[in-house]
Structure formats: C-alpha cells, structure tokens
Amino acid sequence: MAREAEWEGIRSAFEDPEEAAVISRAFDSFAQYERTAHWKATHARRQAFYSLPREQWQVLAGPPFNYLQTLERVDEAIDSNGDLARAIIKASLPAFVPAKPEGAEGADKEIEMPLKWVKTAKPQDIDKARCTIRQFFRDWSAGGEAERKLCYGPVMQALCNEKANKPTGQDSPLLKVLVPGAGLGRLVFDLTANGFDAEGNEISYHQLLGSSYILNMCEREGQHTIYPWIHSFSNHKTRENHLRGYQVPDVHPATRLAEAQKLGRVGTMSMVAADFLCLYSDKAHKDTYDAVAAVFFLDTAPNILRYLETIFHCLKPGGILVNFGPLLWHFEDDAPSKHNTDDEGNSGRLGTETNGIADPGSYELTDEEVMELVGRVGFMVESRETGLEAPYIRDTESMMQSVYKASTWVARKPESRSRKPSAFDL
C-alpha cells in the first residue's frame, strides 16, 4: 500500500484545526508513553516499597522474591514498548511535518515533533497510546493468533463462501470489502492476501498511526518485542508470565503479500481516516461494496440504526454484511449528546448536516432487538450463530479470565429494493 494513498485522508483532516489538534495529541501521547508508564508502573511502586518497615522490604528484596529486580525488568520492558512507540512517531511524522529544504541548516537531521505539540496529550490520549501498543499483541503477534482465528475466522469463511459463488477468471473483478473500525489493519491485510480488494476505515488516529507503521514501514518480521501484561501487577501466576514478551509483527506484510502473489491473485489494500457515518453515507459511496466486514464494530455505535442504514447504503444490491462481536455498547454511560449540545440543549446540527458518530442520541439494544432492526432496515439474514467464545487481548495464563459470548451473522442486501426509503435515498 503506497503511503501517499493511505495518508490522503489524514492529510486533508490535518487542515481542520480541531482535527489537527487531535492528531498532534496522538503523536505526543506516543512520545509520553514511556515516561508515564515508568511513573505509574515502577516509580510509584518503588516509593511504596521503601515505605515498608526496613525488615520487611529487605525480605522482599532478596530471593526468591527479588522485588526490586522485578521493577528493573518492568522498566526494561517499558523501554522495549517505547521503541515501538518511537518507531511509530518517526515513521509517521514526515506525512505531517515538512522536511527542511536541502542545504538548509539541520536538513540532514531527522524530522522532529514540533515543540507546540509537546505535552499537549491529555491523560485519555496517553491511555489510548498504551492500549494501542497492547493491541499489537492481538493483531500482529503469534501469541494473538488464537484470538484472531476466533473472531476473524468466521468472517473470512463467510467472505470466501461468497467469493466461491462469483466468477473466478483472471479478468473477473475481486470482491470489494469494506472493514469499518479496522484498527491496526490486520483483517484488511489478511483479506488482501486472500484475494479481496480490502478498504479499512478507522477514526482513531492512534490506530491509524500504528497500522501505517506496521503495514508500510516496518522492515522485517519480529522487529519489535512488546510486553502487553506489564502495566498491571494483578492476577499473575508467575513473574515470568507477567514479563512475557511477544515479537511483532509475526509476518512482514510486504513479504507475505509477495508470497501470496506467487500462489494466486492478491487484492488491493487501503486505509481511510474518517468518521464512518460521515463518509460512507454520501452519494459517492452508494452501492459500492460487495461486502462489509464488521468485527467488534456495531457496538461502537451510539445509534446503531444509522450504522445499519449506512452499511445498507454503501453495499451493492446483493452484497452482504458479515458481523462478529458482542454488544458492549461504547456510549452507554457517555452518550454523544452530553458533549454535543449548547447551554440550551441544542445539538448544533443545521438542516440535514451531520456530525457523524457525534450526533446526539444514544440507546442500547439486546442481540435479539439488533437482529429485528437488521430486518427492518431491509437486510435478509441468511445465517446466525450466537454464544461464540471471543476473548479480547486476553492473557490466557492470568488468574482472571474474561471472555465475550459473541454473535455472528450474515445479512444480505436484496437485489431489488423492497423497503421504505431512508434519509440516504433523498
């Protein structure tokens, strides 16, 4: 995937002052990750440790506990995670910060983050950077393969079944698949390697910066070692598990695509930075995609009806929506309307303009109610399975285990419209 094509959407967003502020905070949050992680994980613990009575901390400092050595090893692990954070910054900055002209003072130096960006990240931004680094375990390590098979597997199988029913000649177009909420881009990459034209959509700049680096700039398989479990000291059976590292990426994207090309057709790959509702509900995206692959995505909607209407709008007649995920409604306790109204309670919307996911209004449905809504929108549900085990960045060796019981289903847009017109038809 060419970098110019991938970053086109972000560059245009950078012209908006509010979006530019969000992007700069994302960069600064990766820059602050290491310092903040050291403070929270080890510095505060050292202070608490030495607050113990001397005879107690001396016991814990010696074998077999070696608590101070544990804190040193955690610091080293944080530094390793920080290597990845710095690589993301270094690889992405040239898309936003122009290089100095050849011959100018400092032109031979690496591009640095502008001073006005430094220390702009808010606590929630830094937390997103930490979560993004952890997510590399799920999407780009061999340790996360089991999770990927559980959630991406049913989606890939449904799409392969769909492809098997289409013409397969060398001149036949590949199925065009949209992946909203694409995160770090692993599903987009896997679809491309398996012969689909895949387009990822993501609104989080943390995820976009991370996916851009791993897909385009990472030089080799296993270039980085990340330690996803070091930020918490709870529920570890052994210290070795607490400090377990994983190499990322588990495959080098460019090398894997070249290998796939020798075995058959590979698709195209792109990533678009945009609010899903704002972009894909426009006229240009009407009847565009053969399939939409929604993995852990539908429950990010404050208004799932708008999600479903938008997906219906951008699918070709006869196209399919393949869903996999739970219903952890992301806005349950923090509806967008709380942030998007003036002092008199007005939403700020003018006419038919939309703020996308930030539009006011929020509600939560059960799985059965979601399926009813899918039919009301106009889809025909062709298959459905519930209760599928779906962990999310799970440490399988932890003393605390959490797992979703996900729902997966395939719904088709009819070849001919047989429902009432929606707002997107006007």
| Arithmetic mean of pLDDT, 98-120 | 76
In DSSP notation, 363-380 reads ----HHHHHHHHHHHT-E
Q: Would you say residue 349 has pLDDT above 70?
A: no
pLDDT of residue 107: 54
Q: Would you say residue 87 has pLDDT above 80?
A: yes
Task: Report which residue type is found at 280.
Answer: Y
pLDDT of residue 77: 98
If pLDDT is split at 50, 70 and 90, which confidence band does 285 have? very high
The closest of 289, 291, 373, 288 to 327, measured between CA atoms, is: 373
Long-range contacts of 1-6 (CB under 8 A, 24+ apart): 1/215, 1/216, 1/269, 1/270, 1/271, 3/95, 3/212, 3/216, 3/217, 5/270, 6/212, 6/215, 6/216, 6/270, 6/271
Choose between 31 and 111: higher pLDDT: 31
How far apart, in Å, are the Cα atoms of 201 and each of 253, 285, 296, 407, 422? 19, 13, 13, 22, 23
Helix H or strand E segment including 322? strand 315-325
pLDDT of residue 379: 98
Q: Helices in 315-422 by DSSP H: which ranges?
A: 367-377
User: How does pLDDT run across 252-267, given as a tens digit for each residue?
Assistant: 999 999 999 998 889 9
If pLDDT is split at 50, 70 and 90, which confidence band does 7 have? very low
What per-residue string of b and e applies to 48-74 under the rule 16 or more CB within 10 Å gives b?
Answer: ebeeeeeeebeeeeeeeeebbebbebb
Task: Report which residue type is found at 324.
Answer: F
pLDDT of residue 336: 63
Q: Would you say residue 329 has pLDDT above 50?
A: yes
Mean pLDDT score of the chain, rounded to an integer? 89
- Full-model pTM: 0.90
If pLDDT is split at 50, 70 and 90, which confidence band does 239 have? very high
Residues in contact with 398: Cβ distance below 8 Å, sequence separation at least 6, in sequence order: 229, 235, 236, 237, 241
Percent of the chain with pLDDT over 90: 78
Return the number of other C-beta atoms located less than 10 Å from residue 271's C-beta: 26
Torsion of CA 39, 131, 137, 200, to 10 degrees: -150
Residues in contact with 293: Cβ distance below 8 Å, sequence separation at least 6, in sequence order: 155, 159, 177, 178, 179, 187, 191, 322
Q: What is the DSSP letter of 396?
A: T
User: How does pLDDT run across 376-389, given as a tens digit for each residue?
Assistant: 999 999 999 999 99
Among the residue ranges 41-50, 225-234, 333-342, 396-405, the one predicted with the least confidence is 333-342
Choose between 2 and 425: higher pLDDT: 425
User: How does pLDDT run across 409-418, given as a tens digit for each residue?
Assistant: 999 999 975 5
Judge whether 215 and 1 are in contact, CB under 8 Å. Answer: yes
Among the residue ranges 12-21, 158-167, 218-227, 328-337, the one predicted with the least confidence is 12-21
pLDDT of residue 95: 87
